[in-house]
Structure 1
Amino acid sequence: MTELKHPGSASEWMVRLSEEPENSDLRRDHDAWLSLRAENRADWEETLHVWHMLEMTIPVYGAEWEHHLQGNTPQQDRISTPQHLRPHEIRGRKHERPASFLQTGRTHRFATWRQTSIGVSVAAALACLLVVFLPGWVTQFEADYTTATRETRVIALPDGSTLHLGQQSAVSLNFADQRHVTLLEGEAFFEVEPMKDAPFIVTASDVETTVLGTAFNVRRGAFGVDVAVEHGHVRVNGPTMAQGADLRAGDVAHIAPNGQTTRQTVSPALVASWRNGKLIAKDQAFAEIIETVDRYFDGWVVITDPDLARTPLTGFYDLADPKAALKVMADAQGATIQEISPWVVLVSPR
């Protein structure tokens, strides 16, 4: 059970109601919260909508909650028959991705380690942060465009395509004799101008994505590369992908550092939700989600336990306040947050 006494957002209510579906007092308080402000109802409707687009399981009483949407939401946006599966059951599933959470990427600022004592942990954190932060300076010299914490940029490319560069991200361009972008760090969304005889290529680590004209998102981090398609068609190739992979609207491919590839499908409307300040996760490792949150935070977020880092999480979070989003995520995982300084936050099991 979470420690939240009075949830302040729809995401928090979703967690609480999922954990205590038989709690009539909690459900009554939820109804009161919905009636208190129009913004609360709008927040709840949006969360249910996203939950549905993610094809998530929803709480046992989700069918009853659907009446809050009646008259306000188009029929296709309403919740279908829910599966009676709760978040703690989702979190208990074995995650399919490799549990290589102690490695760090070339420009990665995020780390996990097994905590022995708080004094040793803080010292280890500072040393680890120094090691993973210094290589990031090298990236700045390689990049043509970079962004800082909570900064995004929209860049018009020489071929007429548009590049949306996410927080703490970096790219280099080669448009002299081809259309080639290298994602050095972070995340980018591309709206590609169609050119039949000139493929548009994005390279991230050892993964190459080739398109003719489409809109898609690429994310590069310590846990691999993710490619998600909003519309159109892309071809993804990697060193261990003999046949490659064809992705279409709503398809998401994750290529782990060891080359293992997993795929899932989401609503195309959820692709690159970071452009609207939202973080949408579907059965992703907690550490991988925290890596994204870290780009919005003036400092470092450190998970102290590898098992916690591996635990999958599904949710919809507002990154306007990254510390608040981090607290909601930690509550959902049964974890606690400790601020060592204004720049270092530890996430630990309870």
Structure 2
Amino acid sequence: MTNVDPQLQARRDDIDARARQWLAHIYSGEITEQERAGFQDWLAASSEHRAAFQSLNELWTSLDRVPHIEDEPADPAARVPADAAKPARWREVLHRASSLRMAAGLIVAVTAVVALATLQMRSRAEQHLFTTQIGEIRELDLTDGSKLVLRADSAISSSMSSDERNVTIERGGAYFDVSRDETRPFVVSAGDIDVRVHGTAFDVLKGPSSVTVSVTHGHVTVSDLTKPRSVQLTGGQQLTVLANGEFGAVVEFDSQRVLGWREGRFSYRNARLEDIVADVNRYRIKKIVIEDEALADLRITTMFRAENVDQMLAGIAATEPVTIVHSAAAISIRRREQP
């Protein structure tokens, strides 16, 4: 018998539960455009998310093989058209399939699965989706007593039950002040990275090509579930895990500098230009674009406020081999041509 790592199994169970929640919500007729965008972010966050939803979604896809039933795309990312959320669509399908016992049976089966999933999730865990707009920083209180500050242009989902507390960062990041509960671990997932605690305070940022965890007090366990590998962090320590699973060195950090984003202040030391641009773009409608991929890894040390981005860019142009080009659509960072 193959032994499955308990952390890996817990992650799989959480993904399956989240897939059931999305399926039930999508066909409930109550999904909003904002939640629809959150679903797309959840699918894109991990191939495991997509596979779990696809597996559960096959019951609905099987309706395609019944005569006179409207065709639906098999791709789960495409299975969220506006009309799919309308109760009228269910009435139409039921009417057209009224003379087809097989179709009726399949519809009843799918409806039962969705209803059962919804009932199970309501009894097992309380689910929430939180988002922020461009430039918006939002303070939140979770039902377990934990508090968090959500970064601008971010999205997280939470699941609170009597056994565990789970938060998934779909986009962006947040600062967490976790209420201590030795009986229920608090787990923050960002891609393949899990941060597990019982009660402490820390910051998690899901960047373009890495996840950074900064602990202000207490201790946390950072795990890459694809390896598996874990690292313990205590207050004042920071760790960055690259998209390929490579763990960086554990370093000391200045909490005032790293967490300044909560007051609109940004400070970077030897940071990648791509990560700086991603942070800044959370506050801008007119985006900054790095046109030369080789510039993404350019290391920059800088400090500025959110309203002083133009000055920051001018400083980079003065000290690095780049040119800043303003247009109506965007601000482009290009490699400076040699004279």
Same fold per TM (> 0.5)? yes
Residue-by-residue CA offset, 1:129-188 (whole Å, 9 max, x unaligned): xxxxxx9xx9xx997111111101000100111010001000001013421111100010
Among 228, 234, 237, the alignment partner of 2:214 is 228
SS of residue paired to 1:262 = coil
Could you report, residue by residue, the CA deviation over 1:292-346 in whole angstroms, capped at 9, with x for unpaired residues?
Answer: 11111112211122222211112222113333333333433232211121x4110
Match of 2:314 among 316, 324, 327: 327
- Find the aligned partners of 1:272 and 1:106 in 2 and give their Cα distance: 27
Residue 272 of structure 1: SS of its match in structure 2?
helix
Match for residue 156 of structure 2 among 148, 167, 171: 171
- Which residue in 1 is equivalent to 2:191? 205
Spell out structure 1 runs of 4+ moving beyond 6 A: none
Q: Kindly report the root-mean-square deviation, in angstroms, between the aligned alpha carbons of the 2 structures.
A: 2.3
- Judged with a 3 Å threshold, the aligned counterparts in structure 2 of structure 1 residues 106 and 345 are, in CA distance, closer, same or farther, namely farther
Matched, 1:250 2:236: yes
2:302–2:312 Cα contact (<8 Å) kept: no
Asked if 2 retains the 8 angstrom alpha-carbon contact of 1:250 and 1:271, the reply is no
Deviation string, structure 1 residues 77-104 (Cα, Å, up to 9, x no partner): xxxxxxxxxxxxxxxxxxxxxxxxxxxx
| Cα distance in 2, alignment partners of residues 186 and 330 from structure 1 | 27
Matched, 1:188 2:174: yes
Aligned ranges 1:225-304 → 2 under 5 Å? 225-263=211-249, 264-304=251-291
Any stretches of 5+ residues in structure 2 without a counterpart?
1-42, 46-76, 86-126
TM-score, scaled to structure 2: 0.59
Distance 1:169 1:157 in 2: 16
CA deviation after TM superposition for structure 1 residue 272, in Å? 2.0
The number of equivalent residue pairs is: 214
Q: Which residue of 1 aligns with 2:133?
A: 148
Query: Residue 146 of structure 2 aligns with which residue?
Result: 161
Tell me the alpha carbon deviations over residues 243-268 of structure 1, each in whole angstroms, 9 at most, x when there is no partner.
Answer: 40111122111111110111322123
C-alpha distance in 2 between matches for 1:171 and 1:272: 19
* TM-score, normalised via structure 1 length: 0.57
Distance in 1 separating the partners of 2:324 and 2:258? 29
- For 2:134 and 2:309, locate their aligned partners in 1 and report how far apart those are by CA, in whole Å: 11
2:291 and 2:333 in contact (8 A); partners too: yes
- Take 1:322 and 1:205, find their aligned partners in 2: how far apart are those partners? 29
Question: Partners of 1:204 and 1:280 in 2: how far apart?
Answer: 23
User: Deviation per CA, 1:30-54, whole angstroms, max 9, x where unpaired?
Assistant: xxxxxxxxxxxxxxxxxxxxxxxxx
Structure 2: distance between partners of 1:241 and 1:248: 22
Question: AA paired with 2:310?
Answer: K
Secondary structure of 2:276's aligned partner = helix
Amino acid at match of 1:165: L
Query: Which amino acid in 2 is paired with 1:201?
Result: V
**Residue type at the aligned position of 2:335:** P
Residue ranges of structure 1 left out of the alignment (5+ in a row): 1-104, 108-134
CA distance in 1, matches of 2:277, 2:230: 29
Structure 2 CA distance, aligned partners of 1:278 and 1:214?
A: 24
Structure scoring higher RCO (CA < 8 A, sep ≥ 6) equals 1
SS of the residue corresponding to residue 298 of structure 1 reads coil
Return closer, same or farther for 1:193/1:332 CA change in 2, 3 Å cut-off: farther
Distance 1:320 1:241, change over 3 A: farther
Instruction: Give the residue type in structure 2 aligned to 1:260.
Output: E
Structure ID, larger Rg: 2
1:197 counterpart SS class: coil
Kindly provide the amino acid, as one letter, of the partner of residue 151 in structure 1.
Answer: E
The percent of aligned pairs where both chains have the same amino acid is 30
